[in-house]
A and B are shown apart, each in its own frame.
Chain A
Amino acid sequence: GQNIDQPTEMTATEGAIVQINCTYQTSGFNGLFWYQQHAGEAPTFLSYNVLDGLEEKGRFSSFLSRSKGYSYLLLKELQMKDSASYLCAVNSGGYQKVTFGIGTKLQVIP
């Protein structure tokens, strides 16, 4: 089976940096996604890591270590609009099945 773990809630201050961790156990790993989901809205794509290392996209960066089954999403210069749930999802198997974690609800406070 597959298992994805991430913290359920986090709080951070506007302008600060926050790191959201995700650990996973899966077979047939293809890659790892991070999605952002505002309350009542659809998930929106943030990043996709296939190889080990850090990928940076503006204020958001994502890191992957396949040997450790570990990823993190780094958000810099936090803004109030970053308050949302952040979903870690693993792409596995020959047909690209995507399995989501429970999501980390991030609250950004002034």
Chain B
Amino acid sequence: DAGVTQSPTHLIKTRGQQVTLRCSPKSGHDTVSWYQQALGQGPQFIFQYYEEEERQRGNFPDRFSGHQFPNYSSELNVNALLLGDSALYLCASSLAGLGENIQYFGAGTRLSVL
């Protein structure tokens, strides 16, 4: 049973560029959440996708956008990169509906903006 997988594992970009990060959820999960984790901080919620729609969003600018595909996989896009966007980007999957809705995390994509 494959867990949450993310690609790429590392990425280096320059200011002003655009980046796309990818996530495949754990088998059987239908909800994908994205988080940004700066060094020494807890993960910060970016947004959550369910049924191919953004269901809720954290306090991030419109430069951060996403998409969910029919197979539940998801992409995170960041436009006009800033130095401050350098962080570990985590994807977490869960199953919507009643219950614990435990989020399972991928290994993350470490983005460096130069």
Chain A residues with CB under 8 Å of chain B are 31, 33, 35, 41-45, 48, 50, 87, 89, 91, 93, 95-103
Nearest residue (CB) in B for A94 is: B56
Q: Across the interface, do A96 and B108 meet the contact criterion of CB distance under 8 Å?
A: no
Partner-binding segment picked from B13-21, B62-70, B74-82, B96-104: B96-104
**B44 is an interface residue with CB less than 8 A from chain A:** yes
Nearest residue (CB) in B for A97 is: B56
Task: Among B42, B90, B94, point to the contact of A102 (Cβ < 8 A).
Answer: B42
Q: Which residues of A contact B107 (CB under 8 A)?
A: 41-42
A95-B55, A97-B48, A97-B56 given; A44·B105 CB < 8 A = yes
The 5 residue pairs across chains A and B that have the minimum distance between CB atoms: A100-B42, A42-B105, A96-B101, A102-B42, A100-B43
Q: Number of contacting residues on B, CB 8 A?
A: 27
Task: Among B41, B42, B45, B104, point to the contact of A97 (Cβ < 8 A).
Answer: B45
Q: Across the interface, do A103 and B45 meet the contact criterion of CB distance under 8 Å?
A: no
Q: Across the interface, do B105 and A43 meet the contact criterion of CB distance under 8 Å?
A: yes
**B33 is an interface residue with CB less than 8 A from chain A:** yes
Complex CA–CA separation, A101 to B102 (angstroms): 17
Q: Which residues of B contact A45 (CB under 8 A)?
A: 102-104
Q: Across the interface, do B90 and A93 meet the contact criterion of CB distance under 8 Å?
A: no
**B25 is an interface residue with CB less than 8 A from chain A:** no
A45-B102, A45-B104, A95-B56 given; A102·B45 CB < 8 A = no
Nearest residue (CB) in A for B108 is: A42
Q: Across the interface, do A98 and B106 meet the contact criterion of CB distance under 8 Å?
A: no
CB of A106, distance to nearest CB on chain B (Å): 14
Task: Among B96, B100, B105, point to the contact of A31 (Cβ < 8 A).
Answer: B100
10 contacts between A and B (CB under 8 A): A33-B102, A33-B103, A42-B4, A42-B107, A42-B108, A96-B101, A98-B103, A100-B44, A100-B45, A103-B42
